[in-house]
Structure 1
């Protein structure tokens, strides 16, 4: 069963821009409704076998969960930081140790929040009327993620595939579709090959260093260009290749998956999309600057000196108002264009490459109970991590 993607760029741009404008006008309160509406659009655009996914999340759940999480985190961070600051001044006569330990203490909460956000999103996602779900296990995931990150850093990235596989297996083995549990099969060593381009980029870096020590300037310049490009491609290749291999070894009862995706395509969409989004975001600044100069110069010829003088002599509140308008104009255009030029093309690329096998057994799958998940993805919202689409 192949997957189609039915979304249109202009409809998405309008939705992202208008909901972003409402978010600005409500001082951020509308963002819970914005995220809900955007998710419903993306989910409905992905159609395995022609049947769209459904997102049934409630913005009031998100708002309430956010408020609960803020209260808990404020108490946790406040009490912990107070104790750490007291210990730091008592034992080390300074606050550096307190700040360091405070950061380390928040890292497990960061991973915890990511898992909780994933659990909420899956619990509010349906296909063919059947709910997805994720079993509890956020603290287990947080401590495993912390452990594997330490191992990865200590081995200079050599155990990155081990971390990728083990964390994905932890999440997948606790994921449900209806009443069937998913399983992540395979071994972590099957991901080692995905590191090859990153490895080659490091080799190029070492060779370039050798050229520099021998004074071979042209080859050093060439290596400084080839190495970073190869490294960026290596990151995209690792992401795409591990995703493909892990997907091919997932099983949900009789259902199996395969994914076709191209690293160069992903890298091109990401790089060109953010570049054009950045250029588009400059439009509000240019428009408002032109309006400002028109108001100040009254049609006279404008030079750099005129601009500087006009800014110096302008009314302070006019400058503040135009600065605020420019900032939010950039924010709105950037948000809408990145959805259209980056997020949507990436989703479409991955979605159209996804194939589901064993769908003839779908009638045998039964509904699972609804997961209330009272605090929704509030912790991820409060920490601003893992709560995106």
Structure 2
């Protein structure tokens, strides 16, 4: 496969990511604090401010990207999506559990089927989240966009997921290529759309380590007798899980590199990107360790701060016991639980953005080049495809909170 980086140097555009983690950390610290104090309402404004910072930090050919999404769109989209999903899942779950009780005299099959029905909604939300981000991204004054197709995307994901499961994972690379191709064919920059030129068979080799760990572990468990020996089974799991994690990370990095580098656009234009597996692994390991440590420190500080504020005995904190905490009113306990919930999830997302997502963006940006600058410069503004309900469905599954 010929990658996009083979053209003359003068016909290429390089990318860069400016800004520092300190600047981003300061921003997310302010926005997360306001989100917690407003019980999550400000999170829609926080997400908008963070995206604008990130988009302006990403530059192609020296020109920054621009994010034009509005916080009120996110708020209204989230409310609408929450109501629709709650009604949909509520009715479906009731019907399935009722049918399960009538047929099998147990709610378990109905509950299992209810969880399975979340997956189509998840993939629906995933496509809409990506579509919203593209439809609200500008570069050089020309907008990106993506055509509707969330339900078709969800159906395609279901179809290839079932086939992948039926073939014990063998068709997973095909599934990945088909979903990328579907998204690329519906993505536009101005009046030109993207195309995926990579064949599915070019993704099979990077996926072999994943299959080797899965199939090898299953063979040892069933045919090697490990499934009958609890100690051997525990040891096998402890060995297979980190090996599978490494194999999966390798697959994700290599498949992303090949897929993204095969994106063609506007005739001769194309991309070339070269993230490294070792670097991505280091970012994830170091980033998540920092996130965990900061969350633990923050949770301890929040706990003692809450106790000191509501019980007023800072000097006697060492004598604190469960009996004393039991005297708190239900309203106090509810408020404390809500505060801890918001702090943990909003704080985790904010810290992930600073210590994991942003370093990954910077690493990929350092390796990104665009071939066919003349073709890109000739692009004209296309049809504006605005989404008034924003990415509310994606935010329900924490898809719209990222990039």
User: Could you say whether these structures have the same fold, taking a TM-score greater than 0.5 normalized by the shorter chain as the test?
Assistant: yes
Match of 1:241 in 2: 254
324, 348, 364: which one pairs with 1:334? 348
1:388 positional shift = 2.4
Cα distance in 1 for residues equivalent to 2:314 and 2:143: 62
In the alignment, is the contact (CA less than 8 A) between 1:20 and 1:335 conserved in 2? Answer: no
Structure 1: 5+ residue runs without aligned partners?
A: 214-218
Cα distance in 2 for residues equivalent to 1:11 and 1:149: 41
Partner-residue secondary structure (3-state), 1:348: helix
Q: Are positions 1:387 and 2:400 aligned together?
A: yes
264, 267, 275: which one pairs with 2:289? 275
1:267 positional shift = 1.3
Cα distance in 2 for residues equivalent to 1:55 and 1:104: 34
Match of 2:361 in 1: 347
1:168 positional shift = 0.5
Match of 1:150 in 2: 162
Partner-residue secondary structure (3-state), 2:272: strand
Cα distance in 1 for residues equivalent to 2:110 and 2:341: 35
1:181 positional shift = 1.1
Partner-residue secondary structure (3-state), 1:316: coil
TM-score w.r.t. length of structure 2: 0.83
1:103 positional shift = 2.8
In the alignment, is the contact (CA less than 8 A) between 1:113 and 1:379 conserved in 2? Answer: yes
Q: Are positions 1:80 and 2:85 aligned together?
A: no
In the alignment, is the contact (CA less than 8 A) between 1:24 and 1:328 conserved in 2? Answer: yes
Residues 58-100 of structure 1 deviation map (CA, whole Å, 9 limit, x = unaligned): 1111122222223333333333334334433333333333323
Cα distance in 2 for residues equivalent to 1:202 and 1:88: 33
Cα distance in 2 for residues equivalent to 1:235 and 1:69: 32
In the alignment, is the contact (CA less than 8 A) between 2:21 and 2:354 conserved in 1? Answer: yes
Q: Are positions 1:17 and 2:29 aligned together?
A: yes
Q: Are positions 1:176 and 2:188 aligned together?
A: yes
1:324 positional shift = 6.4
Match of 2:265 in 1: 252
In the alignment, is the contact (CA less than 8 A) between 1:110 and 1:385 conserved in 2? Answer: no
Residues 22-65 of structure 1 deviation map (CA, whole Å, 9 limit, x = unaligned): 21222222121111111111111111111111110111111222
Match of 1:313 in 2: 324
Q: Are positions 1:131 and 2:140 aligned together?
A: no
Match of 1:159 in 2: 171
Q: Are positions 1:68 and 2:55 aligned together?
A: no
1:290 positional shift = 6.2
Cα distance in 2 for residues equivalent to 1:110 and 1:6: 33
In the alignment, is the contact (CA less than 8 A) between 1:273 and 1:342 conserved in 2? Answer: yes
**Root mean square deviation, CA, Å:** 3.3
TM-score w.r.t. length of structure 1: 0.86
1:328 positional shift = 5.2
Cα distance in 1 for residues equivalent to 2:128 and 2:219: 44
Partner-residue secondary structure (3-state), 1:131: strand
Cα distance in 1 for residues equivalent to 2:260 and 2:375: 19
Structure 2: 5+ residue runs without aligned partners?
A: 1-12, 227-231
**Runs of 4 or more consecutive aligned structure 1 residues displaced over 4 Å after TM superposition:** 202-213, 219-227, 288-297, 317-333
Higher mean displacement: 171-180 or 195-204: 195-204
In the alignment, is the contact (CA less than 8 A) between 1:280 and 1:334 conserved in 2? Answer: no
Cα distance in 1 for residues equivalent to 2:32 and 2:93: 35
Match of 2:7 in 1: none
1:9 positional shift = 1.1
Match of 2:50 in 1: 38
User: How many residue pairs were aligned?
Assistant: 381
1:327 positional shift = 5.6
Cα distance in 1 for residues equivalent to 2:249 and 2:144: 28
1:211 positional shift = 8.9
Partner-residue secondary structure (3-state), 1:374: coil
Match of 2:389 in 1: 375
Describe the shift of the 1:298–1:18 C-alpha distance in structure 2 as closer, same or farther (beyond 3 A).
Answer: closer
Cα distance in 2 for residues equivalent to 1:105 and 1:327: 26
Cα distance in 2 for residues equivalent to 1:176 and 1:146: 25
1:331 positional shift = 4.9
1:270 positional shift = 0.9
Describe the shift of the 1:313–1:89 C-alpha distance in structure 2 as closer, same or farther (beyond 3 A).
Answer: closer
Describe the shift of the 1:370–1:94 C-alpha distance in structure 2 as closer, same or farther (beyond 3 A).
Answer: same
Higher mean displacement: 249-258 or 200-209: 200-209
In the alignment, is the contact (CA less than 8 A) between 2:206 and 2:254 conserved in 1? Answer: yes
Cα distance in 1 for residues equivalent to 2:126 and 2:177: 17
Cα distance in 2 for residues equivalent to 1:74 and 1:331: 21
Match of 1:216 in 2: none
1:131 positional shift = 0.8
